[in-house]
Structure 1
Amino acid sequence: MRIVSLVPSITETLFDLGLMTDEIVGRTKFCIHPKDYVDKIEIIGGTKNLNIDKIKSLKPDFIIANKEENIREQVEELMKDFKVLVTNIETLEDNYYLLKQLGHLFGKEEKAQFFNLKTYEAFDNQKSEKRLKVAYLIWKNPYMTVGGDTFISRILEELGFENLFNNQKRYPEIQLEDLKEADLIFLSSEPFPFKEKHIEEIQEVCKNQKIKIVDGEAFSWYGTHIAKCGEYYRVLSEDL
């Protein structure tokens, strides 16, 4: 089977399940894991600017997309010629069924079950002793955070945190003054690459909050990735 993945975390998942480079024939430029394998695969654009002609030239049997990460019109264009699976992952339960579905589709049920068990182990006993309010920033200029209906927010909850902006939708723009009710401010390493200098800038306004740069992949990459983040979650929880 020839597969094109339009989603970074799904590309990683397919390899983790045991598929190889002769089966995964196309990926986006943001599909960076596992590096030794993805470097051998044809790039078909970015998640939101797919090269439709290039995808067609690869003659895939199957394309995997995501409701949030890909542009609807581009996915619908591909659906005219190819079989496309559109995923929508908002909760750990969604993630469980995604792995189960992919395992069934590609005959990798045992591997899928393994990663599902590892995912639940990753969140076992990782909850903070005190339910701290967290503001999770994903962008600068303007500052943007995550609402309660996002996968990132669900991961925060699974780790025992409370999303300060839980009552808002998707990815609202905010002002630094809005962060003063938080106990913690997490600066994600992606999609905006927050650095130590940004901590200093935000600390000038948010003087009483603890600010920490966190691994964005550990909070936003679904599929098999979060199954491998148990140690990261443990260290993060202990540090806080």
Structure 2
Amino acid sequence: MTYIDAIGQHHNTAPDARIVSLVPSVTELLCDLGLAPQLVGRTGFCIHPAEAVAAIPKVGGTKDVNLDKLRRIAPTHVVVNVDENEKPTVDEIARFVPHIVVTHPNAPRDNLALYRLLGDIFAREDEAEALCAAFEREYALLQAAPRRPNRVLYCIWKDPWMAVSQDTYIAAMLAEIGWTVPQLGEARYPRFEWSDALVRSLDQVLLSTEPYRFTEEHADALERQLGKPVRLVDGEMLSWYGSRAVRGLRYLRELAEG
């Protein structure tokens, strides 16, 4: 049997694979599937679970992969993501790595297919099904949580200010509790300027702890500036798919419950 990734590529089961993950959230997922001993490379942004990844060699970043180091490691499989990794780099890697597994979750429930894809390819089917069951339990609890519609601006950067658009995994997560984000142009992660009209249209502003390291001090200062509620939120819980999404659903429920 073969298994199909996000761009339609077919993969056979490879229980003895030598895996490099270029996606932080997928690195965490692979470790939670019991595959840490087979991970032979990761990015410097792959920081969870800390104890497991400490022993895995770094091969650069998500965008600036050290191709020479990757060649020396000689993986059989490299796991990438449509949003996180640049296509020219992935195309270059494909010249010397036999199998490139492409991932692209766009909404919370896409995690179920992601768990099963990686579980099937790397012979961790039981572990993947256990994660699916945990996800479904948290998802059912989330569906039963109260929904208070909010129009929120989810900020990921400042100088320049940047937010997420409606066509993002983060927006899909927030939509699970009835929170919507404005569309500030065609970009998925648009730059924007604060304006009276924008501020009036919002119920609250969310400052993410990643990729920009917003703090409570930023939130307090911006709240004074805008005269609107500003909340610091855990960016990993809202933007990391993979096994982190199980905890992310619980975090969403806590946001919904206030």
TM-score range, shorter chain: over 0.9
More divergent stretch after superposition (61-70 vs 179-188): 179-188
Q: Shift of the alpha carbon at 1:235? A: 2.5
Return the match for 2:255 from 232, 236, 239: 236
Same amino acid, percent of matched pairs: 36
Return the match for 2:93 from 78, 83, 90: 78
Aligned to 2:131: 115
State how far apart, in whole Å, the 2-side matches of 1:192 and 1:32 are.
16
Which deviations, in whole Å up to 9, do the C-alpha atoms of 1:80-125 show, x marking residues without a partner? 1111112112122432211111111111112212212322333334
State how far apart, in whole Å, the 2-side matches of 1:236 and 1:167 are.
27
Taking structure 2 as the reference length, the TM-score comes to: 0.86
Aligned residue identity for 2:107:
T
Q: CA, structure 1 residues 220+55, in 2 after alignment: closer, same or farther (shift >3 Å)?
A: same
Aligned to 2:246: 227
More divergent stretch after superposition (130-139 vs 176-185): 176-185
Q: Shift of the alpha carbon at 1:167? A: 7.4
Return the match for 1:39 from 34, 54, 76: 54
Aligned to 2:203: 183
State how far apart, in whole Å, the 1-side matches of 2:186 and 2:173 are.
16
Q: CA, structure 1 residues 117+167, in 2 after alignment: closer, same or farther (shift >3 Å)?
A: farther
Aligned residue identity for 2:115:
L
Which deviations, in whole Å up to 9, do the C-alpha atoms of 1:180-209 show, x marking residues without a partner? 3111211000000001221233223320x2
Q: Shift of the alpha carbon at 1:43? A: 0.4
State how far apart, in whole Å, the 2-side matches of 1:218 and 1:54 are.
31
Return the match for 1:195 from 211, 215, 222: 215
SS in 1 for 2:133: helix
Is the 8 Å Cα contact of residues 136 and 186 (structure 1) preserved in structure 2?
yes
Aligned residue identity for 1:41:
I
Which deviations, in whole Å up to 9, do the C-alpha atoms of 1:165-186 show, x marking residues without a partner? 3875401111222233111211
Is the 8 Å Cα contact of residues 149 and 169 (structure 1) preserved in structure 2?
no
State how far apart, in whole Å, the 1-side matches of 2:166 and 2:187 are.
6
Which deviations, in whole Å up to 9, do the C-alpha atoms of 1:15-60 show, x marking residues without a partner? 1111133x00100000000000100010000100000010110010
State how far apart, in whole Å, the 2-side matches of 1:102 and 1:155 are.
22
Taking structure 1 as the reference length, the TM-score comes to: 0.92
Is the 8 Å Cα contact of residues 180 and 206 (structure 1) preserved in structure 2?
no
Unaligned runs of 5+ in 1: none
User: Alpha carbon RMSD of aligned pairs, Å?
Assistant: 1.7
SS in 1 for 2:257: helix
What does 1:139-150 align with in structure 2 at a 5 Å threshold? 139-150=157-168
State how far apart, in whole Å, the 2-side matches of 1:42 and 1:185 are.
38
State how far apart, in whole Å, the 1-side matches of 2:139 and 2:187 are.
24
Unaligned runs of 5+ in 2: 1-16
